[in-house]
């Protein structure tokens, strides 16, 4: 979080994993380097070659340390500037080590004079200045650490080859004359590049904390007088050379302090600060979630893979009569499921955990309270998965429907009694109608009076109509009594066709389709097929297929009969319309309406009838037909999401 104002100053507090309090030790490294530089300067007066060797080795050591910090801190704080500077310093240190070994008086590179170490020095300075200039430009986007390392290694090898294998690198020092023009100009060019590098870094300084930014800018600025000092000496053992080396060590030390502060000390403080912050945030989120769950009127229960309770909310505690602390870690089945239902529970729970049963299905089960009473709960069960998608438990939300269940049972019993009364009454009325019809028939046979005969025939028609009305109530009385269920229209249609013994060919294309409808929905298809056969006049085929209408589904029933006149298309579904079809289509519309379905006739008169049953989204599912988009977990009161597309006729 480089732009976070909280990181503008070292975090306070002691962090054992970091080894120290970040605040007090920030000033210690500079003091240590002042002592080191003083000791090195004293060494130069004793033996300059010893001084030079120690200085260069210290610089190499610091550069290696900087690279080590940058490389290992990369995963903790991905900052391309760090990795570029660290890798560049490592390669500069490599050339610097060769420069140390080649220095005049070391006697390692036989046949070379003071020009060789000076060339190596200028090569390393160009590499360092280029690194400091390029690094800020790569902060936004840059290659990965390995590519950076490979790139710097290639440049380093090319520079060494240009000096040793292919001597094309310009001379930098000539014995007796001193520094060459190329060397002096190069030092000024390098100084200019360092100034540009400092400006470039200043523009991206907000990437770092103010403390780290000051160290890095200071390190670059110290390099500039270091380079200028190297333009002044005549002898490689001169005091200007010594000052330049001491400033170089100081610059490297500032880089080291900045990298340690940014790559180790601040991340440690940030890690522990973030851990504490995350812990507080996690606690707040947990408390907020607990409040939400407690406010909710639904029951919530979470179980682990073993079926042990990991969470229950306040509403669940109220219903079951026990607190969360009392039941945490206990087996849900052993504590709250009646013995007679435990096998079913284990089957359901195992299926969810193993992924054999899909989440989102509703299930009614009994739950035991602390007092031993039973409550009927309707649960919606889903699985809990970890980051890898592995199922680690279940989460169930439910509602107490005990009173609703009792009311439904009472209503069912009342309906059963009413239906029984209706059946007995209907039976008795039909018996009396049979007797009345017999007497009317006898009277018609015995009378020759035209007026009386006409009255008797009208009475006979009235009795026939009464009989039809009474028989119609037999079909209508069961409508809406039982709960809707998922049913397969294809099976119901084939059963109806078999019962009607059709002469016309019937084609059904509803494989795999299920609709959520009243148990009497079979009468819908029975009546549609029966009406087509009886009133279509010489039909040869009946086609039943499906099509999409947005997110709804259309079930189409078509025939090649005479069709239905336009003026009768709406009237045929009314209770008062009996001229052509009796009460059959009225009954069809009423049965479909129980679960939100509708029907209309859209055929062309003279070409055949075409009935469209519209099944609303969530009231149909289709696992067997590709492209239909039905959901295998759709339920009527919570519609599943389905993809909309143009209607596809099947």
In eight-state DSSP terms, residue 308 is B
Q: Which helix (H) or strand (E) holds 594?
A: none
* Structure confidence at residue 201 (pLDDT): 86
| CATH code, residues 296-400 | 3.30.450.20
Residue ranges of the chain whose pLDDT lies below 70: 1-33, 73-78, 142, 230-238, 241, 261-279, 282, 286-287, 289-297, 360, 410-412, 414-424, 426-427, 468-469, 471-481, 575-583, 623-650
* Structure confidence at residue 546 (pLDDT): 93
Q: Which residue has the tokens 């294309």?
A: 509
0.75 exceeded by pTM: no
- CA gap 500, 542 in Å, rounded: 13
- The full set of domain ranges for the chain reads 5-276, 296-400, 406-476, 485-622
Rounded-to-10 torsion of CA 138, 139, 142, 145:
110
pLDDT tens, residue by residue, 411-465: 667 666 666 666 667 667 777 878 887 878 878 877 777 778 777 778 877 777 7
* Structure confidence at residue 420 (pLDDT): 62
Read out DSSP for 368-391?
E-TTS-EEEEEEEEEEEE-TTS-E
| Phi, psi (deg, nearest 5) at residue 300 | -130, 130
In eight-state DSSP terms, residue 170 is P
* Structure confidence at residue 293 (pLDDT): 63
Instruction: Decide: helix, strand or coil at residue 322.
Output: coil
pLDDT tens, residue by residue, 572-597: 888 666 554 445 788 888 888 888 99
What fold does the segment set 5-276 form as a domain? Rhopdopsin 7-helix transmembrane proteins (1.20.1070)
* Structure confidence at residue 518 (pLDDT): 85
Residues 525, 540: contact at Cβ < 8 Å?
Answer: no
What fold does the segment set 485-622 form as a domain? Heat Shock Protein 90 (3.30.565)
Closest C-alpha to 548, from 579, 574, 583, 513: 513
Distinct helix (H) and strand (E) counts, the chain: 18, 15
- CA gap 315, 296 in Å, rounded: 8
- CA gap 124, 91 in Å, rounded: 8
Q: Round the CA-based radius of gyration of the chain to a whole number and report it.
A: 46
Instruction: Decide: helix, strand or coil at residue 447.
Output: coil
* Structure confidence at residue 633 (pLDDT): 36
Residues 99, 117: contact at Cβ < 8 Å?
Answer: yes
Residues 50, 103: contact at Cβ < 8 Å?
Answer: no
- CA gap 626, 546 in Å, rounded: 13
């Amino acid at each position: 979080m480089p732009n976070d104002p909280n990181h503008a100053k070292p975090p306070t507090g002691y962090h054992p994993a970091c080894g120290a309090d970040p605040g007090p030790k920030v000033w210690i490294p500079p003091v240590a380097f002042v002592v080191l530089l003083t000791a090195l300067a004293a060494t130069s007066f004793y033996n300059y070659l010893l001084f030079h060797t120690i200085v260069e080795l210290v610089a190499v050591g610091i550069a290696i340390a900087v690279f080590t910090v940058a490389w290992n801190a990369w995963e903790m704080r991905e900052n391309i500037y760090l990795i570029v500077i660290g890798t560049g310093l490592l390669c500069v240190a490599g050339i610097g080590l060769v420069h140390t070994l080649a220095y005049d008086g070391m006697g390692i590179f036989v046949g070379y004079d003071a020009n060789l170490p000076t060339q190596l020095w200028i090569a390393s300075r160009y590499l360092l200045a280029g690194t400091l200039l390029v690094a800020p430009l790569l902060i936004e986007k840059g290659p990965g650490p390995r590519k950076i390392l490979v790139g710097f290694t290639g440049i380093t090898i090319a520079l060494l080859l240009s000096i040793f294998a292919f001597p094309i690198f310009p001379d930098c020092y000539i014995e007796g004359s001193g520094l060459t023009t190329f060397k002096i100009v190069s030092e000024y060019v390098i100084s200019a590049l360092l100034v540009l590098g400092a400006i470039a870094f200043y523009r991206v300084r907000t990437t770092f904390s103010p403390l780290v930014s000051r160290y890095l800018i200071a390190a670059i600025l110290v390099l500039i007088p270091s380079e200028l000092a190297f333009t002044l000496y005549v002898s490689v053992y001169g005091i200007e050379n010594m000052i330049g080396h001491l400033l170089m060590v100081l610059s490297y030390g500032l880089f080291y302090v900045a990298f340690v502060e940014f790559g180790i000390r601040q991340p440690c403080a940030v890690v522990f600060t973030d851990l504490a912050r995350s812990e507080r945030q996690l606690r707040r989120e947990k408390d907020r979630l607990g409040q939400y769950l407690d406010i909710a009127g639904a029951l919530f229960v979470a179980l682990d893979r073993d079926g042990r309770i990991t969470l229950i909310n306040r509403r669940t505690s109220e219903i079951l009569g026990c607190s969360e602390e009392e039941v945490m870690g206990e087996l849900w089945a052993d504590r709250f499921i009646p013995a007679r239902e435990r096998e079913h529970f284990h089957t359901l729970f195992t299926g969810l955990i193993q992924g054999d049963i899909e989440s989102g299905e509703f299930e009614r089960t009994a739950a035991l309270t602390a007092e031993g009473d039973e409550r009927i709960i309707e649960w919606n069960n889903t699985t809990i998965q970890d980051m890898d998608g592995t199922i680690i438990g279940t989460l169930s939300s439910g509602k107490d429907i005990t009173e609703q269940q009792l009311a439904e049972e009472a209503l069912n019993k009342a309906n059963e009694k009413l239906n029984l009364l209706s059946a007995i009454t209907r039976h008795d009325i039909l018996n009396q109608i049979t007797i009345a019809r017999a007497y009317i028939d006898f009277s018609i046979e015995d009378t020759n009076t035209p007026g009386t005969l006409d009255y008797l025939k009208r009475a006979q028609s009235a009795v026939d109509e009464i009989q039809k009305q009474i028989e119609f109530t037999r079909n209508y009385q069961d409508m809406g009594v039982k709960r809707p269920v998922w049913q397969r229209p294809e099976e119901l249609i084939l059963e109806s066709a078999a019962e009607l013994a059709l002469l016309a060919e019937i084609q059904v294309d509803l494989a795999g389709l299920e609709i959520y409808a009243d148990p009497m929905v079979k009468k819908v298809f029975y009546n549609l097929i029966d009406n087509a056969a009886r009133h279509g006049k010489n039909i040869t085929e009946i086609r039943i297929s499906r099509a999409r209408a947005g997110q709804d589904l259309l079930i189409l029933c078509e025939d090649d009969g005479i069709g239905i006149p336009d003026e009768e298309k709406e009237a045929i579904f009314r209770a008062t319309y009996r001229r052509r079809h009796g009460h059959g289509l009225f009954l069809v519309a009423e049965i479909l309406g129980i679960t939100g379905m509708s029907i209309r006739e859209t055929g062309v008169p003279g070409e055949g009838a075409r009935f469209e049953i519209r099944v609303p989204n969530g009231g149909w599912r289709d696992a067997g037909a590709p492209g239909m988009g039905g959901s295998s977990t759709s339920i009527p009161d919570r519609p599943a999401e389905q993809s909309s597309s143009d209607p596809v006729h099947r």
